[in-house]
Chain A
Amino acid sequence: MALMTYREALNRALDEEMTRDPDVFLMGEEVAEYDGAYKVSKGLLSKFGPKRVIDTPITELGFTGIGVGAAQVGLRPVIEWMTHNFALLALDQVVNNAAKMRYMTGGRFKMPVVFRGPNGPAEYLAAQHSQSFASYWAHIPGLKVVAPATPADAYGLLKSAIRDDDPVVVLESEMLYGMTGEVPDAEYLVPIGKADIRRPGKDVTLISFSKPVRACLDAAAVLQGMGVDTEVIDLRSLRPLDTETIYTSAAKTNRVVVVDEAWPFASVGSHIAYLVSRNLFDRLDAPVELVASEDVPMPYNHGLELAAQPNVEKIVAAAKRVLYLE
């Protein structure tokens, strides 16, 4: 068991998969000569050469399209978007080509492509570069979407994504790249579509993914001090969604708080709140709470920037509401 950062875990997964399968290659802005904007691809150019670690111009729609085409003819491209903010330019390739090709060819074309990069609010990045687009991808039938919250899951999910024959969007997080965690030495895969109960509990369920999972665990510790036994579910995959784990937990605790750093309207979090309300109506003792980012463009002022996002205080307050502890 080694302690490593989230970016090192992603790097190890890329390294191992490129070593294992010569069809796997990495393409994106600054991934080669610069070792990646966030150093995820560090050392890969020198190890695998410029044919498999390819720097592209600043043309998201173009290189994403090349990735889709390469996957269509049998390669296993990993397309790095410097951030998901820039991936908006590539939406058409992902939504209309990658996600639909298998369906529209009656299964003749597989689409083993991975789109990855940091998603969600970071710090000091202002309105255009600090936002979560999880629901943009999770909305699309034909895509798979994963969002690892720990180095161990980053490693295991990226490997599963590369080996998957469907297009997989990996939502990484800039704020998590430097986070360290235990990663087993032996090779392993984390299955797509399986949530993880990060903390078992019986009184209230917190459901989240990616960066806010940490805030949920911190909130659970605060709640513990109030005598509340909190269960924390890390979804890990948004599509397919592990509804079994969600429903089993909600049926047990009768109280659910969903935490999503995206805006509240039409988000992954709001959809999960709907699913729980719809399917566990008779098991709920309180309305499902959604802790989301405020419904505003991200402020540049740092105090406001932090205040706009879910935090421990907001999560604890929501948990108290569903527990009627106010």
Chain B
Amino acid sequence: MAEKILMLALSPTMMEGSIAIWKFKEGAEVKKGSVLCEVETDKAVMDYESSVAGTLLKIVKAEGEKAAVGDLIAVVGKPGEDIASLLTGVVATPSGPAKADALVEAGASAKAGTAGNSVTTSIPVTASVVAEVAQVPTSAIASGVRASAFLPTGFLPSLPSGTPPSSPLARLLAHNAGVDIRSIPGSGPAGRVVKRDVEAFIAGSVSRKAEAAVQGTVLPQSTASKGRFEVKREKLANRSVPVGRIRAVVAKRLSDSLHEAPHFFLRSAIEADRLLALRSALNEGRDEGSKISLNTLFAKLSAAGIARNPDINSSWNGTTIEYRKSVDVALAVALPEGLIAPVVRDCANKGLEEMEQEFRVLIAKAKAGGLKPEDYEGASFTISNLGAWGVEEFTAIINPPGSAILALGGIAKEPVVRSSPSGEDEIIVRSMLRATLSCDHRVIDGAVGAAFLRDLKAFFEEPSRALL
């Protein structure tokens, strides 16, 4: 008996997807669990695993074609089976409310218990369902105002299972503000997100936006502002807080990176006096909104270093190593919700002003919670600068798919021993910066990393060398 293969909701909010690639041709044998095709959703490209075994008899939706959740995309069965009835049956089904039923049926007939369940539970409530509910009389005795007057208008998606609890009002407010409820920390019982949490989050986003627009700084300044040493007793409590979306992503990526990529660390002490002088010279006469930051200089000089050490600009892919043309540098930005590293693309071919402006825009977006995956994914090199917190030096975890990350401490004046022009040792004062390069040893060997760090040191100490 041939089985219909329907488009499934591969993410909680997915309504439709387009076929990116068919992994099998018509006539090919498909096993249960084989990746039939890749489906591109609004968020990502995901594997579609077959819940049945058999021969791929018919591909209904070709590569590039869109299919709504519940639409027929293929038929799997025994070779030579007559599938005409299956094809006509579904083609005749209009998209609409009937979809849910069709999907449940398909889930059952495909014996795909898990697939069937996940589909039925994650079908978003459609606008028509909401409208029907609104028309149900509230009560035989209800006089006066119809309760439907208080129902929200517009589409409210159902939440996926595993979402931290939230009050209905909080969900409505978050929806109206265009905020993902999962990114809001809850203060109610069992971490329930309630009205005040949404209001505080929205207010925080607004102030973060304003702050970012004014400062344009890469990392928050650790100024001795009022309240810095305040004891936060109300937060010092036994509590369990559900993991937000960003925190979950950060946790997984960093765990995977540290466990899978064999890290090694190279340290260097760098004289930063000329770099500071260069920054002063560049910024002379510039207003606050266009000053070139140290981080932009670090990114630019790192790109210059990578251009001379292209092995750094690579990714481990298991059976291949991918070398990349574009030097895409990320800057780690600390947010209350978690770390995020927006990326400026092709830094080797951009000027400082262009990079500075791009970083400013990205960082403002990050602080406002508005970064899109294309803003932070796919960095080939990352810089993490904790100098503003007075950290002398530290080691960072590689940000995949890049193979190296540069951890920068603060710049401080120190006594150093140098040779005088007459050849004698002397102790002089220099502004020193300590840099630690973390490398993925699967891709970058010690000598390769050392050569790169040597060039970085040379460029940071005398930026004009990067012009060579």
Smallest CB separation, B317 vs chain A (Å): 47
With contact pairs A243-B138, A251-B150, A324-B194 given, residues A282 and B169 touching in the complex (Cβ less than 8 Å): yes
Residues of B within 8 A of A83 (CB): none
CB atoms of B143 and A279 under 8 A apart: no
Interface residues of B in 136-158 (CB under 8 A from A): 138-145, 147, 149-152, 156
What is the CA–CA distance of A141 and B369 in the complex, to the nearest angstrom?
Answer: 54
Q: Is B168 an interface residue, CB under 8 A from the partner?
A: yes
* A266-313 contacts to B (CB < 8 Å): 275, 278-286
* A279 and B141 contacting across the interface, CB-CB below 8 Å: no
Complex CA–CA separation, A21 to B37 (angstroms): 85
A50, CB-defined interface residue at 8 Å: no
Task: Say whether A244 faces chain B, with CB atoms less than 8 Å apart.
Answer: yes
- B145/A244 in contact, CB under 8 A: yes
Number of A-B contacts (CB under 8 A): 71
For residue A242, CB closer than 8 A to chain B, the reply is yes
Task: Give the shortest distance, in Å, between A197 (CB) and chain B (any CB).
Answer: 14
Q: Is A5's beta carbon under 8 Å from chain B?
A: no
A69: CB under 8 A from chain B?
no
**What sequence of 0s and 1s flags, for each residue 149-186 of chain B, a beta carbon within 8 Å of any chain A beta carbon?**
11110001000000000011111100000000000000
Q: How far is the CB of A164 from chain B (nearest CB, A)?
A: 15
Question: Known contacts A254-B169, A254-B195; is A282 also within 8 Å of B151 by CB?
Answer: yes
Among candidates B147, B149, B151, B170, residue contacting A285 with C-beta atoms closer than 8 Å = B170
Contact of A244 among B144, B152, B187 (CB under 8 A): B144
Q: Which of A234-248 contact B (CB under 8 A)?
A: 239-244, 247-248
Closest residue of chain B to A321 (Cβ to Cβ) is B189
Measured CB to CB, the closest approach of chain A to B177, in angstroms, equals: 14
For B194, the chain A residues whose CB sits under 8 A away are 285-286, 324
Q: Which listed residue, B140, B152, B167, B187, touches A284 by the CB 8 Å rule?
A: B167
> Is A193 located at the chain interface by the 8 A CB criterion?
yes
**For the complex, what is the distance from the CA of A278 to the CA of B136, rounded to whole Å?**
11
CB distance from B138 to the nearest CB of A (A): 5
Check if A285 sits within 8 Å of B145, measured CB to CB.
no
Closest partner residue, chain A, to B198 (CB atom): A285
Set of chain B residues within 8 Å of A247, measured between Cβ atoms: 145, 147, 149-150
Query: Provided the pairs A244-B144, A248-B145 are in contact, do residues A282 and B195 lie with their beta carbons within 8 angstroms?
Result: no
Assess A324 versus B143: contact at CB under 8 Å? Given A254-B195, A278-B138, A280-B150.
Answer: no
Flag if B169 contacts A283 (CB, 8 Å).
yes
**Once the chains are docked, how many angstroms separate the CA of A275 from the CA of B138?**
8
B196 interface residue per 8 A CB criterion: yes
Cα-based distance from A324 to B196 in the complex (angstroms): 10
Residues in B neighbouring A251, C-beta threshold 8 A: 150
- For the complex, give the distance between the alpha carbons of A254 and B170 in Å: 10
In the complex the two chains form, what is the Cα distance from A141 to B139 in whole Å? Answer: 12
Please tell me which one of the listed residues A193, A243, A283 contacts residue B145 in the complex, with CB atoms under 8 A apart: A243
Taking the nearest CB of chain B, how far is it from the CB of A277, in angstroms?
9
Contact of A280 with B147 at beta-carbon distance under 8 Å, contacts A254-B195, A285-B170, A286-B167 already known: yes
Instruction: Give every chain A residue within 8 A of B145 (Cβ-Cβ).
Output: 243-244, 247-248
A284 near B141: Cβ-Cβ < 8 Å: no
Cα A283 to Cα B196 in complex, Å, equals 13
* Smallest CB separation, A99 vs chain B (Å): 13
Q: Are A239 and B141 in contact (CB under 8 A)?
A: yes
Asked if B188 is at the interface (CB within 8 A of a chain A CB), the reply is yes
Task: Specify which chain A residues have a CB less than 8 angstroms from the CB of B172 in the assembled complex.
Answer: 282-283
* Interface residue ranges of A189-222 to B (CB < 8 Å): 193
Q: Which residues of B contact A281 (CB under 8 A)?
A: 168
Q: In the complex, how many angstroms separate the beta carbon of B425 from the nearest chain A beta carbon?
A: 67
Among B147, B152, B187, the most chain A Cβ lie within 10 Å of the Cβ of B147
A281 to B167, CA, bound (A): 9
Which residues of chain B have C-beta atoms less than 8 A from A275's C-beta?
A: 138-139, 142, 147
Q: Given A282-B151, A283-B150, A324-B194, A193–B170 Cβ distance below 8 Å?
A: no
Are the CB atoms of B143 and A243 closer together than 8 Å? yes
A285 contacts B169, C-beta separation under 8 Å: yes
What's the Cα separation between A280 and B187 when bound, in Å? 22
Question: In the complex, which residues of chain A have a beta carbon less than 8 angstroms from the beta carbon of B140?
Answer: 141
CB of B190, distance to nearest CB on chain A (Å): 12
By a CB distance below 8 angstroms, the chain B residues around A244 are: 143-145
Having A251-B150, A285-B170, one finds 9 other A-B pairs with CB under 8 Å, namely A141-B140, A240-B143, A241-B139, A243-B143, A243-B147, A279-B147, A279-B150, A285-B168, A324-B196
27 contacts across the A-B interface (CB closer than 8 A): A240-B143, A241-B141, A241-B143, A242-B143, A242-B144, A243-B141, A243-B142, A243-B143, A243-B144, A243-B145, A243-B147, A244-B143, A244-B144, A247-B150, A251-B150, A254-B195, A275-B139, A275-B142, A279-B147, A282-B150, A282-B168, A284-B167, A284-B168, A285-B194, A285-B195, A286-B188, A324-B188
Closest 8 CB pairs of A and B: A279-B147, A244-B144, A244-B145, A285-B169, A285-B195, A285-B167, A243-B142, A282-B168
